[in-house]
Structure 1
Amino acid sequence: MNYVEIVGKTREEAVEKALLELNAKIEDVTIDVEEQKPKGFFGFLAKKELRVKVTLKETKKTDEDLEDFSFASKGFSLEDDKKDDSKILKESVIDENSKEMAKKFLEDIFTTLEINAEINISENEGCLCIGVTGDEASRLIGRRGESLDSLQMLTGLAVNRDRDKYVKVLLDIENYRAKREESLIKYANKMARQSAKQRRVIKLEPMNPYERRIIHSALQSDRYVKTYSEGKDPYRKIVIEPKYK
């Protein structure tokens, strides 16, 4: 797939999501922006949304580029939400300045919201990993981690402002992501067994790209079912289909 269409509250938000989906840098794409009409009660309290279409520029692929599709060799299709982000990680450049910017950005937010929390920042395989602990901070996780994902995106935008080299940011609060991953894997296996036993297609609820990758990975070697995704974000969902009907 050489393009994606993403809806976001701001151009920067939508473009960042699209770049992650395509595993591309800003100079490797063309961007078309369309402003959506605001939705709301007679226009009050309504927020405009932007739909951006981000298209990869035509370039000659090298052997190194082909390595970015390593998930395909492990049983994944080449759909946009199943791509490995190894290219972004290899190009991620972390320095003390990026760590300080991330910490200050979060500290300012916590101060404004009057939240007491401890921030720990580390580097892991080219990723800036930020762990936040504190009971009060847990309210920033949101339903199924939606608020956490938004805060992670905003932190990434703050860190990468005016930078030539991209820094991938992973934010976690009270070890939520590990707990969510464990829960998703159990859920995937349960739905897979149900799909195989009843010999019927099961569509899961919409998930973000990070959670869809967990489901795909958990079931990639399953003997009885296969998975694929359908729809467009934010309503894109995983379909579990029995191999033997």
Structure 2
Amino acid sequence: MRQITASGQTVEEAVQTALEQLSTTRDQVEVEIVDEGKRGILGVFGSKPAIVKVILMKNMVAETENYLKTVTRHMGVDVEITTTVHDNHVTYELNSDKIALLIGKRGQTLNAIQYLAHLAINKDGRKYYTVIVDAEGYRARRKETLEILAERMADRARRTNSKVALEPMPAFERKIIHTSLQNVKDVETYSDGNEPHRHIVIKPNK
């Protein structure tokens, strides 16, 4: 972990000097103020420079991308990864000629890879990230499939006038079902069971 000590007329000037030397940005460093400095008379006489220690933090987004390449390589799959960052949300898009192996049955393998990525990127605890690991647009296709499933199972609940339990799903997939049916007035949804067997129940409103 690189760190340097820099000085300037103000703390901000000292920080900026350090950032330039480290070729990085403010959100990638930790700043420790050693001395706030002193402006002095007329800004000259008796002035004292501000001194800061700036520590370059690990780039957890890049480290996690490398981690995903290692994990998939151990699975016998070479991947290309496109990484997109929006604030604290990171999406890793995997591309490979063996993409089906990375997705697995109903996305179970991809969900496991995503869980590992979530642990890896948040392991230092400095900044919390939410993570999506996708594979050639699988998440969008799965979302569409779940929305169709939600409509079909809601219709079954109406016709039979009884509860319908869906298969166990991870939390972010259950959310898709809940959201899909939240404005449907004649049925309601809730989650039941314990992880990893927690599932959605669709219940008709009488």
TM-score of Structure 1 vs Structure 2, range by shorter chain: 0.5 to 0.7
Task: Indicate conservation of the 8 Å contact 1:116/1:137, yes or no.
Answer: no
**2:114 paired residue number:** 152
* SS of structure 1 residue aligned to 2:82: strand
- The alpha-carbon distance between structure 1 residues 206 and 110, as it changes in their structure 2 partners (threshold 3 A), is closer
Amino acid at match of 1:216: H
Following superposition, which runs of at least 4 residues in structure 1 exceed 6 angstroms of deviation? none
* SS of structure 2 residue aligned to 1:205: strand
Check if 1:229 corresponds to 2:182. Answer: no
The offset of 1:97, in angstroms, is 1.0
Q: Which of 1 and 2 has greater Rg?
A: 2
Amino acid at match of 1:116: D
- The alpha-carbon distance between structure 1 residues 197 and 113, as it changes in their structure 2 partners (threshold 3 A), is closer
**2:150 paired residue number:** 188
Superposition CA RMSD, Å: 1.8
**2:28 paired residue number:** none
* SS of structure 2 residue aligned to 1:130: strand
The offset of 1:120, in angstroms, is 0.2
Distance in 1 separating the partners of 2:93 and 2:58? 17
Amino acid at match of 1:170: I
Identify which of structures 1 and 2 has the higher relative contact order when contacts are C-alpha pairs closer than 8 Å and 6+ apart.
Answer: 1
**2:73 paired residue number:** 111
CA offset digits 1:171-197 (Å, max 9, x no partner): 111211111110000000011112112
Task: Indicate conservation of the 8 Å contact 1:138/1:174, yes or no.
Answer: no
Distance in 2 separating the partners of 1:96 and 1:186? 42
Check if 1:239 corresponds to 2:201. Answer: yes
Task: Indicate conservation of the 8 Å contact 2:150/2:181, yes or no.
Answer: yes
CA offset digits 1:77-117 (Å, max 9, x no partner): xxxxxxxxxxxxxxxxxx98122102211122233333222
* Count of equivalent residues: 150
The offset of 1:148, in angstroms, is 1.0
Amino acid at match of 2:138: Y
* SS of structure 2 residue aligned to 1:150: helix
Query: What are the equivalent positions in structure 2 for 1:118-137 lying under 5 Å apart?
Result: 118-137=80-99
Amino acid at match of 1:148: L
Q: Which runs of 5+ in 1 are unaligned?
A: 1-94
Amino acid at match of 2:91: C
Q: TM-score, normalised by structure 2?
A: 0.67
- The alpha-carbon distance between structure 1 residues 232 and 112, as it changes in their structure 2 partners (threshold 3 A), is closer
Amino acid at match of 1:173: A
The offset of 1:145, in angstroms, is 1.3
- The alpha-carbon distance between structure 1 residues 110 and 206, as it changes in their structure 2 partners (threshold 3 A), is closer
Query: What are the equivalent positions in structure 2 for 1:145-224 lying under 5 Å apart?
Result: 145-224=107-186
Distance in 2 separating the partners of 1:186 and 1:96? 42
- The alpha-carbon distance between structure 1 residues 200 and 163, as it changes in their structure 2 partners (threshold 3 A), is closer
* SS of structure 1 residue aligned to 2:134: strand
